[in-house]
Structure 1
């Protein structure tokens, strides 16, 4: 009988036709039901080339979550969004058009930003679709749309009315390259080479000097005290005395404080505004008068005297030179210093007093810990990233930014008394250009207002994604049936930002946690184990790889290469080699397609054995799927299909399936079992490789989509898996002896079958053409 599958190999070009068929049939369209499973899908950021191969594998696995949930009987809501706000868009626009934001009219710059990412977004959507993502592309959202920005403003207005947002002037992390405040969560640390300068401070009215070591001598002009540990006997007689600061000749008092480390440097520490967050805390605690030494342009201010106008690094070099010329340096050490950098611009941040809006978070830390403990993390180890971050929070979240392309803060200020006016929700406000909705100031009656020109931190937008997709405050029925969402899938590097801020914001707005589960993926690394990035030039563009090898090859590589939550290496060669498994699956299916579908048959012990192995496979796969760990089913399915089903059982059952030397009942038992195993393999593989399984399923078993099927359940077949090793060893022995005697696999050979394999004797004789004595 000719095989139903006529093509000799699986061709990735078949995937396009399957995609079109799914779209035409609206296979994955979401229809609201009483119970729904919502995925809080991360909206990717199209800045520069949109994605590297590691990010694409991340989204392929998010689709595996969706497909697994559907095949477990859940009604899946899988929204898709694109994140388009903030600094990366602005930087890309500046580079693309050869302009600078602050030298361009704001409206013109915003229009350029709005369209700058369209081509990159289109490519990103193409990659997602090519990968077979079963999300809601027809209704995909953009975080820079008026609808989304209006929603962000509405949540701000809600929190403003609740009294959890306030305006204050405080020392803030400042990225002078992008010209804006950044939150602690947007800081990364790197060990950079720097100089530890041991400077001579003179004790006033005494011919005595003490040595103070610092990596920031450019802040001498902002020094307001020197602290020593009260247990440091070297300075016990100097506490309360004044020191003369080198070069500036200003006097500061020696103050006892336990934060001074006896073992670091000289044990004496100058406290400046602001070298680091420890300085900030000390200035607040000791009520010191701050000196603004570094301005918003990233240069030394007039407070620095002769060094005004220099960048901090330039001032540092010049001040060290001047200190040495004045014989005020004891020594200089070259050290590696843990330096806070802006995550975006990668330059050292400065701490500058600025007026910003803050969202209260310090008083919610214990509540966030409790909610965090209730969320199931996959893998559980990444929950610690959240808990560690919660332990480190020391200030409220500064949510205002001095940039253009973002959601505007909806506030106007009275020109007379500066009273803020916050409008009612219901429209998208642009205070920098729109007139104030208020007719007059409620406080003083003035009728003239000035609009706020700052925007929100982009995490203010992203952190309401689960509320936006579930139509919070816009469709009560939809919201009630889709929120809290089921799962938050994301990368581990944004646990302390996107995951935490979402948890914080959603709890403050709804009183509930936004999801019950969080799935956290590791980094995609290059072949040498380095993190892939566009700036390093080691990022692999996924689209050519998908077009060459096919989405299923890519997806199966992703599942079988990546152990949940761990970093993984990306290699085009490894991806291409994964195609061998799909070829094996295709060849097995093509062979079996020549046999008719049989509903039942007389099962031999050979059939019962492979069905018990199939039960074991189902159990392993479902365990992996239940934890969203696709590495487990992918590796188990490859091992079973290749080394157990194809290499052992099919060879054992082949003669019986052809009816050679067997009766009809025995033949039908083999054919039934062959199709039972293959159809189960296809269903177990469907969430990982949706294209090839769909094609094979509809060619062999049903005109309906395999993605409408349920994942198989174990049938509690009598356990015969203890025979597997015995069967494999005997078959290997026969094949090896034939090889040693220069016989083909079809040639007969005289080998006795062990007694413990007597129940499989008839199949083994036919399989190996054995001569039995």
Structure 2
């Protein structure tokens, strides 16, 4: 035992804040988290990069705790563990924050040049970026901080641009006008995956359109009456006999009085609504397809900010939702509004700004996904890449089989600028190049105009979708497009821990990029975490005000307590119903461990030297049982890790430490007389076992385990639990017979405690025990265990025995345990108590049977209610039988 533990009293209270700071600083100073390629097998994890301007929230806490558990265990197992941290530039979110800051300073983005705006954006990033990574250190995250990567780093940015150029040259990136999701707040295009569909209470407006040259009208229902301004056709099903007479005619769009053709297309569902459809090609995906098939005019009636454009003719400059209110009034006054009904429908919202998106025809850059995605689909379906839990494979397959081309251009300034350069007004008058100098040469060649100058070129104003950079993350964090040594060593990575809601944003696309640029998977396993929810089942968020500050939780309960609280309630892929009491439980567990260790140190002899050992006393049942339990748990924990059941693994370690070691082993190992010191040999074994327990605990609760491990024995300056050897399972140290015997004795002790409680006997009252068992010799040899935990004056064991009169009993496996009570209680009073209880139970059963014998109740009551009564009857009859047997014993 090292001197600090022997001669300096361990503090009475566990103080997590001091200990956590001390050990994290030590780990960092000794560079234990840093990894460089060597001859060991690597274990690589890349962090899902949080937004550069983000702060720690509960989802981050859960995700990064799980990653840290996996990495710490791998490090102890001897792998070259490398956990790469970093942040994402988050184009939309970061630009919005910078614009808001500028607005507060009285500056409009439109008043700045692009370069001026970028200066402000970088200033914001340098000031606020990376805060979340510092916060993760408070959690204990054992990242290789020397490898911290930012998606706007120079080399990383180069890989993003080179990837764009490569895919363009392969014909897998193209530019085209297509329907996109438009965010009027951020004024940018969004991919399908950046749109959240919410069920909302809307209105369905029934509007009539006059058939040209007649007094006839057709009625059309819409939830977006403002888009009437962009209508260029009315569509009916060619098989709808109600409208056969309208074939070839025109309709008049109300208010704008635009004549539009009545077109025929079997896309229209004759059974839905009136069977007539208004067609607005510029503002609806399906309408756009109809417009393409029927060569319809396209009227873009909405500006980028959601106001009505000049093409809309009416309400120019008004906001779309203000127009919705006004146009309804105007339609009503014009006699075109038939009715308005309440209607529930799903509406798309921007994932970033939470505003209603607008479908919009727009010229954008796209990645052709169908061919690219095939290897990514095949290798998840055949389990080369394994999802945990596997249920997410079906969701993944559905998306991948129906994958759409990816819109990768964003109308922003913060981000990776698209490397396209325009030299003319023609649709194809552009080149894609890494630099303006290279672009000029290509433009001269493509145009055949050698007199073009740099002044004739204009670079595309848009930036790339943030996910277009982060899909390269497992490759680019190792500079894998330019240097081979590190990426060849660390890639593919091992485990990715992420949330299922970014399965398509990020996971699928990383897999696609991995097969496209490395010819192999980017990771072997994907562990999907659940969503952290409050006790009401709501997702925790700042806007709802239901999310605690993670740093406040750490300050109150310690990082270990919070880590345990998070892990205890989160099976893979299932949501976490978070309750702060879980963190409190984690804190109490720390105190339990601390007090147990402190108890051992207080019972050391200052004149002795202690050496932790796992060499046990082979004749001691308790030692053999505890050693067996440690080995059993090692094996079970390993199985849980293999199957990503981390919460199950932690619960097993928790039970091993709290129940087996603290409540049983230490209690049985301590001296018989108060004030006596521990036997040196017993103390050495207890310390050795404590050392193993701290190793098992370390990935989950690194700080307290390191603190105690360092106390247990003299360590060199370079020794640390975080790099010590992970416990290995030893089948030869699992003694099944001893486990079974000790568990029987445990049940006997528990039964004796229950009997004392039921009979009102003091824990200190001496009792007599009689045991009917065929295992008398071994029970006699280990009678001391019962004697140490119970006040027992005598024990009698035999294979043949009658149950003593006036005794309490318990059945433990095949053994029968009796406690004679005649000298301990008032027998007559006990008989009277039992008889009263019998009378009460008989009355209870009479009421239950009355219900069950009533055919009207049985036939008409809900099945669950009837079954509940049957359960009451079963339990009551069993209780009655037990009470009568007890009464008979006292006669």
Q: Same fold (TM over 0.5)?
A: yes
Aligned equivalent of 2:735: 718
| Separation in 1, partners of 2:570, 2:220 | 50
Aligned equivalent of 2:558: 550
Does residue 1:129 correspond to 2:137, yes or no? Answer: yes
Match of 1:468 among 476, 485, 489: 476
* Matched-pair contact (CA < 8 Å) for 1:148–1:468: yes
| Separation in 2, partners of 1:415, 1:533 | 48
Does residue 1:58 correspond to 2:63, yes or no? Answer: yes
Match of 1:226 among 220, 231, 234: 234
Q: CA deviation digits over 1:666-686, x for unaligned, max 9?
A: x94x55653454333211111
Does residue 1:727 correspond to 2:745, yes or no? Answer: yes
Q: CA deviation digits over 1:535-587, x for unaligned, max 9?
A: 33333221232133221111111111222222223344432332111111122
| Separation in 1, partners of 2:181, 2:545 | 29
Task: Label 1:40 to 1:287 Cα distance change in 2 as closer, same or farther (>3 A).
Answer: farther
Aligned equivalent of 1:441: 444
SS of 1:44 mapped into structure 2? coil
Aligned equivalent of 2:48: 42
* Matched-pair contact (CA < 8 Å) for 1:197–1:214: yes
Based on CA coordinates, which of the two structures has the bigger radius of gyration?
2
**Alignment RMSD, CA only?**
3.0
Aligned equivalent of 1:92: 97
* Matched-pair contact (CA < 8 Å) for 2:34–2:146: no
Gaps of 5+ in 1: none
| Separation in 2, partners of 1:127, 1:308 | 49
| Separation in 2, partners of 1:753, 1:644 | 24
Match of 1:649 among 665, 673, 694: 665
Aligned equivalent of 2:418: 409
| Separation in 1, partners of 2:585, 2:600 | 24
What displacement does 1:288 show? 2.6
Match of 1:640 among 640, 651, 656: 656
Aligned equivalent of 1:9: 13
Aligned equivalent of 2:799: none
What displacement does 1:316 show? 2.1
| Separation in 1, partners of 2:375, 2:233 | 37
Task: Label 1:661 to 1:243 Cα distance change in 2 as closer, same or farther (>3 A).
Answer: closer
Task: Label 1:280 to 1:362 Cα distance change in 2 as closer, same or farther (>3 A).
Answer: farther
What displacement does 1:718 show? 2.5
* Farther-moved stretch of structure 1 (331-340 vs 346-355): 346-355
Match of 1:578 among 566, 586, 590: 586
* Matched-pair contact (CA < 8 Å) for 1:159–1:508: no
Aligned equivalent of 1:270: 278
Does residue 1:423 correspond to 2:441, yes or no? Answer: no
What displacement does 1:458 show? 0.9
* Matched-pair contact (CA < 8 Å) for 2:640–2:648: yes
Asked which structure has the greater RCO (Cα within 8 Å, sep 6+), the reply is 1
* Farther-moved stretch of structure 1 (177-186 vs 520-529): 520-529
Aligned equivalent of 1:156: 164
Match of 1:329 among 328, 331, 337: 337
1:166-565 aligned within 5 A: 166-230=174-238, 232-373=240-381, 374-394=384-404, 396-415=405-424, 419-424=429-434, 438=441, 441-443=444-446, 444-445=449-450, 446-447=452-453, 448-565=456-573
Aligned equivalent of 1:113: 121
* Farther-moved stretch of structure 1 (623-632 vs 282-291): 282-291
Task: Label 1:761 to 1:276 Cα distance change in 2 as closer, same or farther (>3 A).
Answer: farther
| Separation in 1, partners of 2:228, 2:754 | 81
SS of 1:640 mapped into structure 2? helix
| Separation in 2, partners of 1:659, 1:317 | 85
* Matched-pair contact (CA < 8 Å) for 2:300–2:312: no
Match of 2:701 among 673, 689, 696: 689
TM-score w.r.t. length of structure 2: 0.80
Task: Label 1:622 to 1:348 Cα distance change in 2 as closer, same or farther (>3 A).
Answer: same
Number of equivalenced pairs: 760
What displacement does 1:153 show? 1.2
Task: Label 1:643 to 1:423 Cα distance change in 2 as closer, same or farther (>3 A).
Answer: same
Q: CA deviation digits over 1:383-433, x for unaligned, max 9?
A: 334223224433x21211111111111232225877433335xxxx5x6xx
Task: Label 1:710 to 1:292 Cα distance change in 2 as closer, same or farther (>3 A).
Answer: same
Q: CA deviation digits over 1:472-496, x for unaligned, max 9?
A: 1222121211112222221222111
